Amino acid sequence: MRRMSQPDPFVLPEDDNAAEAIAAIADDFSVLDDWEERFRHIIDLGRKLPPYPDEWADDAHRVPGCQSKVWMRPTLRDGRLYFAGASDAAIVAGLVALLLRVYSGRAPSEIAATDPGFLKDLGLIEALSTNRGNGIAAMARKIREAAAQAAAG
């Protein structure tokens, strides 16, 4: 009996580099009139994340500091760090997707050089509740820690 292969759970880059991804997100946000529309867009991004394997939805992959349940798993392929991610909350899954658009598929040095301050520049931190703002900061920290570990070898 042949086993069907599962789709790759890791987010592949849509943009050539993190700066282009941030610019593309800013462009997307600029055509949306208000935060209600932006949040709908963010939720849609979360729905488009690759399926996250159930066996990775465990404490070892959970992001501490998030009110909702958030899981991330990095993998190093050909010198680039790719991330799989998921959340049990629709808006938070969208925030995961937003971060992974910027960071997944990049060299650890590029991840380290890309400050998550772009979230504040986009107005996202101010638009989120304090708990969600803290959560997205925790996700960005987890991504950058994985990059530091990968760079250290």
Render pLDDT for 41-51 as a digit per residue (tens, 0 to 9): 999 999 999 99
For the annotated catalytic residues, the residue numbers are 66
Within a domain: residue 95?
yes
pLDDT value of position 4:
52
* Alpha carbon distance 82, 75 (integer Å): 5
Within a domain: residue 56?
yes
Residues 39 and 91 sit within 8 Å (Cβ to Cβ): yes
pLDDT value of position 37:
96
Band (1; pLDDT cuts 50, 70, 90): very low
Within a domain: residue 7?
no
| pLDDT mean over 26-32 | 95
Residue 16 vs residue 152, higher pLDDT:
16
| pLDDT mean over 130-145 | 93
Within a domain: residue 12?
no
CATH of the domain at 123: 3.90.1010.10
Model confidence at 93: pLDDT above 90: yes
Within a domain: residue 40?
yes
**The total number of structural domains that make up the chain:** 1
Containing structural domain, residue 59: 18-152
Residues 35 and 43 sit within 8 Å (Cβ to Cβ): no
